[in-house]
Amino acid sequence: MNLNFDLNSNTDTQYDVVIIGGGPGGATAALYTARADLKTLVIDKGLTAGALGLTAKIANYPGVAGEISGAELLKVMRQQAETFGAKFAQDKVQAVDLTSEPKTVFANGGTYTARSVIIATGSMGRGQRVKGEDELLGRGVSYCATCDAAFFRDQVVMVAGNSDEAIEEALFLTKFVRQVHFLSPTPALKADAQLIEELASHPKVVLHAGTALREVIGASRVEAVRVAQRGQLEEVIPVTGAFIYLQGGKPVTDFLSGQLPASESGCLIVDKEYQTALPGVFAIGDVLCNHVKQAVIAAAEGAIAAMAVEKQLHQRKQLAVDWAK
């Protein structure tokens, strides 16, 4: 399967629609907007970074009989969107300006503008931080190796996570640092097999499987991390950098910096066509904290939002589905 996933090499920056998140919601929205002839870019930080991507088996997606992994299902969805012209970029969105016209999306690998933005980032965001994390953010704690790795040349750092994203960031760090302690909270990594192999066999990486990050220690900069492996005593590992890619169960909205109204639990608020309070900005899927979190629901919302985008950009009065050329 040859997906058009360009890592940080997207030179085309102006789109009709930028979709942030390529899970079932974002991938379906892309299928519909691309098919409506809207120039569409999906920015997604990693195949296994979302709820569907990390699901080992899914057996209730309509039209897909038998058991399939979430990542496999997602690849098929993305490939279908690509056949209609949607582009996918593997990148992490760090910030947005949704009030500018066009709207601006800032990712690690570039800045993109769009007439409409669909937010489909799911609900795998972290709630609680570990002790010391907030205090040492920007002083050794980072969420972006691509941005900060060069500051840690020849140093010893820690990466915590178990997804494709965490592994890719750790491998990126190996180009700069002397050693990477990789902490996976689960005994087995939930990532692409080839990436896991690359990580495990890398001479600069020490893999700590089934190990939780408990604390980031340091007076004014990161000096060490306190970790706990299942069934063992806690250990302090001296490091100067702590790169954290752990997942939780909160809507992923950190990159919005409060530009959109949200509920008390941080869930984005939309109208019946999935438009937020800002015209041209839509939100779909688990980031809305739907009562029923299912891939088919996120996909359906993606379809509705995409049709609403098409209606708005083509100045129609009603949603239309008959775009076949």
Residue 144's alpha-carbon distances to 83, 108, 134, 148, 232, in angstroms, are: 31, 8, 15, 6, 30
Active site residue 267: no
Neighbour-count burial of 323, counting CB atoms closer than 10 A to its CB (0-12 exposed, 13-18 middle, 19+ buried): middle
Residue in 16, 44, 168, 310 binding ligand FAD, rule: CB under 6 A: 44
Those residues whose C-beta lies under 8 Å from the C-beta of residue 129, and which sit 6 or more positions away, are: none
- Contact string (CB under 6 A) for ligand FAD, positions 120-149, x = contact: xxx-x-------------------------
Q: How far is the CB of 192 from ligand FAD (least distance, A)?
A: 13
Q: How far apart are CA 20 and CA 18, in angstroms?
A: 6
Active site residue 144: yes
Interface with ligand FAD, residue 45, by CB under 6 A:
yes
Whether 46 contacts 90, CB under 8 Å: yes
In the set 16, 148, 164, 286, the catalytic residue is: 148
Q: How far is the CB of 226 from ligand FAD (least distance, A)?
A: 27
Interface with ligand FAD, residue 50, by CB under 6 A:
yes
Whether 122 contacts 224, CB under 8 Å: no
Interface with ligand FAD, residue 205, by CB under 6 A:
no
Q: Which residues 255-274 are close enough to bind ligand FAD by CB under 6 A? A: 255
Q: Which residues 57-116 are close enough to bind ligand FAD by CB under 6 A? A: 58, 60, 92-93
Name the residue among 122, 116, 80, 53 with its Cα closest to residue 273.
Answer: 116
Interface with ligand FAD, residue 307, by CB under 6 A:
no
Pseudo-torsion of CA 150, 6, 37, 286, nearest 10°? -70
Interface with ligand FAD, residue 286, by CB under 6 A:
yes
Q: For residues 29 and 141, which CB has a smaller minimum distance to ligand FAD in the complex?
A: 29
Interface with ligand FAD, residue 161, by CB under 6 A:
no
Whether 285 contacts 26, CB under 8 Å: yes
List, by residue number, the catalytic residues: 144, 147-148
Which residues make up the interface to ligand FAD (CB under 6 A)? 20-26, 43-46, 49-53, 55, 58, 60, 92-93, 120-122, 124, 252, 255, 285-286, 293-296, 298
